[in-house]
């Protein structure tokens, strides 16, 4: 059963760390088991819980690898996703998103797992890169319309951010010395990207005829042969064949031919060999079918724009290429080149034509589309060739001469349903501009849990975590390294009392004799002493408990959903008495609020049995900066300015420093002073004396044989 706060005089139950809220019962069901968390509140002051939605999910993998130099582990497991997140929301549901196949899809129709384009920094530029959607959701909130010079129109919430020539900026905000200040869009900004995506032509009858004409004339065989035979007047043969390496174009052609009552047969034209890919083909030798294909691909007397789009798509699939940012269509047939010229002009594409003479073969003409990535994407979206391999823009720099200056930012004076996604790169391309995705606070997984009062809490339980862990540890190539349990979300958050996923994970690790380090701030870890103690005897387990202050009132405001500081110290003592190595993480250290308690926390934790210690300075990336400021103004308005000023002094003039080597400890005079204080206190008390005693043993790892028998070696 989930934990229920039996006692505790919580302030407003909708207040919490960072967001200024933390609803009571956030991870609880209506029916709950009473549990003393040390807050000491009379029973008659019990606060009603908010409804919590727990989504059970089956994951494909459970071990996360990490190579950051700032954290002391290379592998981690998080049994749950979602825990006190704060997210901002994004754009209108019809906003087109650039998918990894080069096409677009409304953000409302995008789903977790979809492959799309984002960006990564490489050298001086951001470059387009394929990424994966991790989460997708929507919310109803006030919306703004952003209009750009080229006519691009975007609908987004005030908290959404776009990439400008001066960095990421919110749609709306304030500057100056306000506690809610943040960079926001103005009419002096220019967004980064290519501008609005073009709409594709409808795949009508004219488009189909144009596509078949371009593809078959470019790469097909269509012929009739007449033979004189003995004892026969003649023996005529008719043949149509279309052979390609890329089956997308082949399938489209076959589908269009079928719509015109032409049946074809599929077969393997050439098997893969060495560096050569396999080629597949369709064919027919029926005279009526061959004659019908001739009629279908005949040059039209007055081609429509739709026919022109289809023809360009077909001839590009047959004879086009796209590499290193250059889009070309080549052919030796002057008539085909003239039709490419005509169709490009009818759709207002700019291009160059180069005649290339060759010694051993016919001269060839090369048509090259100009205008850079913006025009290349317009070509792909407008005419829609079938072969996705030829629509790859990965690696190209995010730079363009598109007119993307902001013309206006207008509130729509009404609430709309807006959508957002979380991606692996942290961004995506929305209607041609680089758009920041929503992602959770740095210590939590990428899921949508709002900091607002009106949004329901959501938690994601990886119910097959133990099953997946067993599979991954059983793989022959697995290399045993210490696994850290609970690096992004607390493995002992209240819902664990019901789901018991963390316990199941520990059971598997114990069976494989795999070392594990647990990080938590909840006393529920005591439940699993029966697993942790035997593992600790073999140097296979250790527990770190997070504790940054001993002030009952401050802790209640800062972490109202966690057990009280005294209860955490009690958990340390019980674990230590059971023979389990215990450490304390003083995190986050907040200037003027908790930094003066560093020594006191270390002393209390040492008395409770902790022998290892570490700390993390307060981190405020964009996702939590404004939420933390709001929390400060609500609970400690007189200290807010001093706290933020000191944070900047310890973060090189910024509120957050993402750089490896300094993001966890800070930089500058005050950060160095904090480090010396911490080291002095640890040395005085006796922390971190012998690292060999705290090193977990990876040599005991064994893969059980089927039936539960362990391997000898």
In the DSSP assignment, the letter for residue 525 is: G
Q: Which residues pair with 76 in a beta bridge?
A: 64, 484
The domain made up of 205-391 is a member of CATH 3.10.28.10: yes
What's the token pair of residue 630? 């709001």
What's the token pair of residue 421? 């996604």
Distances (CA, A) of 699 to 470, 505, 517, 702: 18, 20, 16, 9
- Give the tens place of pLDDT for each residue, 493-512: 888 888 899 999 999 999 99
Per the omega criterion (within 30 degrees of 0), is the bond before 109 cis? no
**Which residues have CB under 8 Å from 132's CB, separation 6+?**
113, 114, 115, 116, 423, 424
Nearest to 327 by CA among 269, 276, 367: 367
Residue 364: per-residue pLDDT:
93
Other CB atoms within a 10 A radius of the CB of residue 433 amount to 23
Residue 404: per-residue pLDDT:
93
Which residue's structure tokens are 């994951």? 59
- How far apart CA 518 and CA 11 sit, in angstroms, is 30
Nearest to 310 by CA among 170, 427, 202: 202
CB 308 within 8 A of CB 342: yes
Distances (CA, A) of 692 to 101, 196, 689, 696, 697: 51, 59, 9, 8, 10
> How many CA atoms are closer than 13 Å to the CA of 58, on its beta-carbon side?
1
- 174 Cα distance to chain centroid: 28
What's the token pair of residue 190? 């220019």
By CB atoms closer than 10 A (0-12, 13-18, 19+), residue 67 is exposed
- How far apart CA 426 and CA 300 sit, in angstroms, is 48
CB 586 within 8 A of CB 548: yes
Nearest to 699 by CA among 483, 482, 518: 482
CB 184 within 8 A of CB 367: no
Domain boundaries in the chain? Answer: 3-46+53-80+448-694, 89-164+398-436, 205-391
What's the token pair of residue 695? 């090193």
By CB atoms closer than 10 A (0-12, 13-18, 19+), residue 294 is middle
Torsion of CA 564, 565, 567, 569, to 10 degrees: 170
What's the token pair of residue 283? 């064919």
- E-strand ranges in 598-671 read 612-617
The CATH fold of domain 3-46+53-80+448-694: pyruvate-formate lyase- activating enzyme (3.80.30)
CB 439 within 8 A of CB 624: no
Nearest to 24 by CA among 566, 443, 457: 457
What's the token pair of residue 68? 């950051």
- How far apart CA 585 and CA 571 sit, in angstroms, is 14
Q: Which residues pair with 387 in a beta bridge?
A: none
- 313 Cα distance to chain centroid: 32
Cβ contacts of 46-49, under 8 Å, gap ≥ 24: 46/5, 46/6, 47/5, 47/10, 47/13, 48/13, 48/24, 49/23, 49/24, 49/25
With a cut of 70, list the residues of the chain below it in pLDDT. Answer: 1-53, 66-73, 82-90, 174-181, 227-235, 438-458, 561, 622-624, 658-663, 691-694, 706-713
What value does the CA radius of gyration of the chain take, rounded to a whole number of Å? 32
| DSSP letter for each residue of 213-241 | HHHHHHHEEEEEE---BTTBS---EEEEE
- Give the tens place of pLDDT for each residue, 386-433: 999 999 999 999 987 788 999 999 998 777 888 888 888 889 999 999
The C-alpha angle with vertex 519 and arms to 513 and 524, in degrees rounded to 5, equals: 90
Residue 11: per-residue pLDDT:
36
In the DSSP assignment, the letter for residue 398 is: S
Distances (CA, A) of 601 to 37, 470, 492, 507, 672: 19, 38, 22, 32, 19
Out of 2.170.16.10, 3.30.70.1230, 2.70.98.60, 3.40.50.300, select the CATH number for domain 89-164+398-436.
2.170.16.10
CB 524 within 8 A of CB 490: no
User: How is the beta sheet containing 265-270 ordered, strand by strand?
Assistant: 220-225, 237-244, 279-284, 265-270
């Amino acid at each position: 059963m989930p934990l229920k706060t039996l006692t505790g005089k919580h302030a407003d139950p909708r207040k919490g760390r960072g967001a200024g809220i933390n609803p009571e019962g956030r991870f609880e069901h209506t029916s709950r088991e009473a549990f003393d968390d040390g807050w000491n509140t009379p029973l008659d002051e019990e606060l009603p819980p908010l409804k919590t939605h727990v989504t059970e999910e089956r994951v494909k993998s459970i071990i996360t690898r990490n190579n950051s130099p700032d954290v002391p582990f290379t592998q981690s497991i998080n049994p749950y996703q979602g825990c006190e997140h704060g997210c901002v929301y994004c754009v209108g549901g019809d906003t087109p998103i650039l998918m990894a196949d080069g096409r677009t899809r409304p953000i409302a129709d995008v789903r977790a797992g979809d492959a799309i384009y984002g960006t990564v920094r490489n050298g001086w530029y951001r470059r387009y890169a394929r990424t994966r959607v991790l989460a997708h959701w929507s919310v109803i909130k006030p919306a703004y319309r952003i209009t750009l010079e080229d006519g691009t129109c975007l609908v987004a919430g005030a908290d959404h951010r776009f990439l400008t020539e001066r960095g990421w900026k919110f749609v709306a905000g304030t500057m100056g010395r306000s506690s809610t200040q943040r960079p926001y869009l103005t009419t002096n900004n220019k967004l980064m990207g290519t501008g609005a995506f073009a709409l594709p032509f409808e795949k009508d009858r004219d488009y189909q005829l144009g596509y078949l004409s371009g593809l078959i004339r470019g790469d097909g065989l269509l012929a009739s042969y007449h033979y004189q035979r003995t004892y026969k007047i003649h023996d005529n043969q008719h043949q149509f064949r279309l052979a390609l390496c890329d089956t997308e174009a082949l399938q489209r052609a076959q589908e269009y031919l079928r719509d015109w009552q032409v049946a074809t047969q599929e077969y393997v034209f050439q098997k893969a060999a060495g560096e050569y890919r396999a080629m597949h083909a369709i064919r027919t030798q029926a005279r009526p079918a061959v004659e019908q294909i001739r009629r279908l691909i005949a040059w039209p007397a007055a081609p429509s724009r739709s026919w022109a789009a289809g023809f360009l798509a077909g001839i590009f699939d047959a004879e086009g290429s796209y590499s290193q940012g250059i889009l070309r269509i080549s052919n030796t047939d002057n008539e085909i080149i003239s039709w490419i010229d005509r169709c490009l002009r009818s759709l207002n594409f700019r291009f160059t034509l180069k005649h290339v003479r060759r010694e051993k073969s016919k001269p060839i003409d090369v048509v090259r589309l100009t205008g850079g990535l913006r025009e290349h994407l317009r070509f792909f979206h407008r005419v829609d060739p079938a072969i996705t391999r030829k629509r790859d823009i990965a690696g190209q720099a995010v730079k363009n001469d598109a007119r993307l200056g902001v013309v206006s930012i207008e509130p729509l004076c009404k609430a709309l349903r807006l959508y957002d996604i979380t991606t692996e790169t942290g961004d995506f391309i929305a209607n041609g501009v680089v758009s920041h995705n929503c992602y959770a606070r740095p210590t939590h997984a990428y899921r949508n849990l709002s900091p607002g009062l009106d949004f329901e809490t959501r938690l994601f339980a990886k119910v097959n975590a133990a099953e997946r862990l067993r599979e991954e540890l059983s793989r022959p190539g697995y290399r045993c390294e210490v696994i850290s349990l609970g690096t992004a979300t607390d493995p002992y958050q209240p819902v664990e009392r019901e789901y018991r996923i963390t316990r199941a994970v520990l059971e598997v690790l114990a069976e494989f004799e795999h070392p594990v380090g647990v990080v938590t701030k909840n006393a529920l870890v005591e439940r699993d002493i029966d697993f942790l103690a035997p593992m600790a005897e073999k140097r296979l387990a250790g527990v770190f408990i997070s504790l940054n202050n001993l002030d009952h009132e401050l802790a209640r405001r800062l972490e109202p959903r966690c057990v009280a500081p005294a209860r955490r110290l009690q958990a340390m003592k019980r674990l230590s008495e059971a023979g389990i190595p215990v450490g304390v993480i003083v995190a986050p250290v907040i200037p003027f609020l908790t930094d003066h308690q560093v020594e006191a926390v270390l002393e209390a934790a040492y008395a409770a049995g902790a022998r290892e210690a570490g700390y993390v300075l307060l981190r405020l990336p964009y996702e939590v900066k404004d939420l933390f400021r709001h929390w400060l103004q609500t609970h400690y308005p007189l200290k807010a300015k001093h706290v933020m000023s000191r944070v900047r002094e310890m973060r090189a003039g910024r509120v957050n420093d993402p750089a490896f080597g300094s993001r966890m400890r800070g930089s500058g005079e005050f950060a160095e002073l904090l480090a010396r204080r911490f080291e002095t206190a640890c040395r005085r008390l006796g922390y971190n004396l012998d690292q060999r005693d705290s090193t977990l043993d990876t040599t005991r790892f064994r893969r059980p044989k089927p039936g539960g028998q362990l391997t000898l070696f």
